[in-house]
Structure 1
Amino acid sequence: MRSIWNGAISFGLVSIPIKLVNATESHSISFRQIHTEDGGRIRYRKVCELDDREVSSAEIGKGYEDADGSIIPITDEDLSHLPIPTAKTIEIVAFVPADRIDPLQMDAAYYLQAGGAPAAKPYTLLREALKRSNKVAIAKYALRGRERLGMLRVVGDAIAMHGLLWPDEVRAPEGVAPETDVTVRDKELDLADALMDTLGEVDLDDLHDQYREAMEELVAAKAAGEVPPEIPSAATGGKVLDLMAALESSVRAAKESRGEEPSEEEAEVSSLPQRRASRTAPKQTGGKKSTAESTQSAKKTTAAKKTTPQKSTAKKTTTDKATTNKTTAKKTTAKKATAKKTAAKKTAARKRTA
């Protein structure tokens, strides 16, 4: 690997010659700007505003733009006289536990390569000291015209250094978290834990850049004059109306994707009663109408109940009247029969007297 910086690690009175090499590399696909009409390259030229002519890199220096827009030239000689003791030295200033470093501060990563045979012994000493202490070294160094902060740690048999942002370069998370009061229930936490357990761990070596692979296929197809392959669009998630239902579905989907049977714990969590649909369904706009209809139905039912006994009473009254009429008719008939018998007896008596 090609070194980008040569210097030494200052470890108390011990000096370790090292070379700084990049620990990471970018695999991103880069593009060139072209003229869409004829495919010609679009290039940027460095032109002096005063002379209105293109200048070479040898003619270009540094300058600081002041608040009023004026440019203050800064030469390499000016920079060389700056009091930076770390210009060619990675100066270790402290050893701290690794968890003291906020991941937000971590920047680019480098490997520190021992600079020749004389550096092998002190390099190994520092590496083993870091291993045994379970700590990381905090150091200051200068790179690309500025002093930086770094963290040294052991990676395999090598020492790696992560560039760190200065503490005042990390923004506070103000206004980022939700401002509304939210209550998380225990059942929701149980489902979240079940989902985390179901997804489990992953070997980072198995992860790959699908976008880059698709881009390479696209470029290869166009270079061969073929039709670019169709890339399936990613499924978009629907609107989450019920967090519990979404968590339960996520747990089931994760288990199915792994071809695993749910454990007793997860089955118990999945069988938690879901919230009623009426809680998640949108409110109906005709709520008043439904209430009125219910009231009318109730009134009709009440009226029907009241009417039924009246009909029964009417029937009973009619029956009683008919019975009374029949009784009266029978009495009248009996009286008429008695009257006829009396009249017949009187007539017979008169005939005998005559």
Structure 2
Amino acid sequence: MWNVRSIWNGAISFGLVSIPIKLVNATESHSISFRQIHTEDGGRIRYRKFCELEDREVSGAEIGKAYEDADGTMIQISDDDLAHLPIPTARTIEIVAFVPADRIDPLQMGAAYYLAAGGAAAAKPYTLLREALKRSNKVAIAKYALRGRERLGMLRVVGDAIAMHGLLWPDEVRAPEGVAPDTDVTVRDKELDLADALMDTLGEVDLADLHDEYQDALEEVIAAKAAGEEPPEAPGPAPGGKVLDLMAALENSVRAAKESRGEEAEPGEEAGAAEHAEVTSLPRRRPAAPEGETGGRRTTAGAKKTAAKKTTAGAAKTAKSAQAKKAAAKSTAKSADRTAAKKTAKKTAAKKSAASRKRTA
């Protein structure tokens, strides 16, 4: 269980029902952070806060907030001023409406929080709101104040908990003007059919199976440098692909996706894409080499391979023959040694027998 530390305490206002809650961060960052250093000696680079009037460094306890007026005047605003703002959402998440979830533009969604029940007394009204949201299939729109400003939020059910997503105000979302292509383009039904086929072939993915490969690679680099080793080399650039028209690209994508899943491509997908070259003009190809030249190259390559194989086989046979000769020589030497030893033993026995006969005579 991760450490549940509240960043804000207040209550949910649900009509006349008040639900004490604690605001808890629902997400966490696993990104690797870096320090700034002086590259010549590795010394840390730090930012110090100085007072312009006294020209001295000040501590965090001496730093406050102020609003700069048009004439440059600084109007101090204390935390106590912010805590007593004359708005109902100062310490309250005030639910103002319930709407279908698809009414919320994902562009508006920001930080996510869990709303934890604030004590045993909050268990019953908290559960009531959660079950009401479940049964209605709606989300609650609320207003709340956090970090010095009033914000918009969306409450929804996640498991057995209520989560809140911070929302941007509608006037904070820019209209997509000037983003879409400004040229007239006609998309044919067959192109849409192929796009649908590609979407179906790619299928779905379990988001839990996805991970940050950049961070994995970064951790490998840090571990290698910490061990005094060379960091792993980056893969080479991907080879440049041929310019294909849209239909050919879609057909090839569908075929590749099916092959990666072990499926067979349909007969229609095996056909070439030259007939669809309407969207992008293909560059001229270089003329093919004459048949004789191509055949000569293949023959030469084949001859080289055959010669290489023969040379390798001959070398292997020669090595085996040499090994056999060495073994035979060793065997002959051992046999000669044994024969010489026998002859020596016989001579010694004959001498001993002659000497014995002389003593007897």
Q: CA deviation at 1:72?
A: 2.7
2:275 maps to 275
| Residue 110 in structure 1 maps to residue 149 in structure 2 | no
What residue identity is the alignment partner of 2:56? R
Q: 1:216 aligns with which of 191, 214, 219?
A: 219
Task: Normalising by structure 1, report the TM-score.
Answer: 0.75
- 2:350 matched residue in structure 1: none
Show CA shifts across 1:134-193 (max 9, x none): 000001111111111000000111111000000000000000001110100111111111
TM-score (ref. length: structure 2): 0.73
* Unmatched tracts of structure 2, length 5 or more: 286-361
The answer to whether the 8 A contact 1:244-1:274 is kept is: no
Indicate how the Cα distance of structure 1 residues 48 and 132 shifts in structure 2: closer, same or farther if over 3 A, else same: same
Give the match for residue 288 of structure 1: none
Q: Which amino acid aligns with 1:123?
A: Y
Q: Which residue of 2 aligns with 1:195?
A: 198
- Find the counterpart in structure 2 of residue 87 from structure 1: 90
Partner of 1:204: 207
Kindly provide the CA deviation profile for residues 275-304 of structure 1, in whole angstroms up to 9, marking residues without a partner as x. Answer: 2669723489xxxxxxxxxxxxxxxxxxxx
- In the alignment, the residues of structure 1 paired with residue 175 and residue 158 of structure 2 have an alpha-carbon distance, to the nearest angstrom, of 30
Report if the CA contact (8 A) 2:115-2:163 is conserved.
Answer: yes
Q: Which moved more, 1:41-50 or 1:79-88?
A: 79-88
Q: 1:16 aligns with which of 19, 22, 31?
A: 19
Partners of 2:120 and 2:276 in 1: CA distance: 74
User: Is 1:39 aligned to residue 42 of structure 2?
Assistant: yes
After TM superposition, give the deviation of residue 71 of structure 1 in Å.
2.8
Residues 17-166 of structure 1 aligned to structure 2 (within 5 Å): 17-166=20-169
- CA 1:276–1:132 in structure 2 vs 1: closer, same or farther (change >3 Å)? closer
Task: Please tell me whether the aligned partners of residues 240 and 246 of structure 1 are also in contact (alpha carbons under 8 angstroms).
Answer: no
Residue pair 1:33, 1:41 contacting (<8 A) in 2 also:
yes
- By how many angstroms is 1:248 displaced? 1.3
Percent identical among aligned pairs is 84
Q: What's the counterpart of residue 349 of structure 1?
A: none
Residue 240 and residue 168 in structure 1: after superposition, are their counterparts in 2 closer, same or farther (change >3 A)?
farther
- Partner Cα distance (1:165, 1:145) in 2: 15
Structure 1 residues 221 and 190: alpha-carbon distance in aligned structure 2, compared to 1, 3 A threshold: same
Change (3 A) 1:240 1:131: farther
8 Å contact kept, 2:245–2:277? no
Distance 1:50 1:117, change over 3 A: same
Shift of 1:63: 1.4
1:270 Cα deviation after fit: 5.5
Aligned residue type for 2:94? E
TM-superposed CA distance for 1:132, in Å, is 0.5
Gaps of 5+ in 1: 285-354
The CA deviation at 1:230 is 1.7
- Give the direction of change, closer, same or farther, for the CA distance of 1:224–1:275 in structure 2 (3 Å limit): same
Cα deviation code 1:289-333 (max 9, x no counterpart) = xxxxxxxxxxxxxxxxxxxxxxxxxxxxxxxxxxxxxxxxxxxxx
- CA shift, 1:236, in A, is 6.7
In the alignment, which residue of structure 1 is the partner of 2:248?
Answer: 245
Corresponding residue for residue 258 of structure 1: 261
Asked whether 1:167 is paired with 2:198, we answer no
Between 72-81 and 110-119, the greater mean CA deviation after superposition: 72-81
What's the offset of the Cα at 1:225? 1.0
Q: Which residue does 1:225 correspond to in 2? A: 228
2:343 counterpart residue number = none
SS in 2 for 1:275: helix
Q: Residue by residue, what CA displacement relative to the aligned partner does 1:39-97 show, whole Å, maximum 9, x if unpaired? A: 01000000112222101111111112234444332233433442121111111111000
Would the aligned equivalents of 2:83 and 2:90 in 1 still touch at CA under 8 Å? no
Please state whether the residue corresponding to 1:280 is helix, strand or coil.
coil
Deviations 1:222-271 (A, max 9, x none): 11111111232563764744111111121122222223223x4xx43554
Q: For the residues of structure 2 that align with 1:236 and 1:73, how far apart are their CA atoms? A: 60
RMSD: 2.1
Relative distance call for 1:197 and 1:7 in structure 2 (3 A) is same
Could you tell me whether the CA contact under 8 Å between 2:245 and 2:281 is conserved in 1? yes
- 2:321 is matched with which residue? none
> Which segments of structure 1 move beyond 4 Å, counting only runs of 4 or more?
276-279
Aligned-pair distance for 1:116? 1.3
- Asked if structure 1 preserves the Cα contact closer than 8 Å seen for 2:247 and 2:276, the reply is no
Structure 2 residue identity aligned to 1:228: P
Q: Distance in 1 between matches of 2:7 and 2:239?
A: 44
1: distance between equivalents of 2:241 and 2:284?
19
Q: Does the residue aligned with 1:10 lie in a helix, a strand or coil?
A: strand
SS state of the match for residue 178, structure 1?
coil
**In the alignment, what sits opposite 2:347?**
none
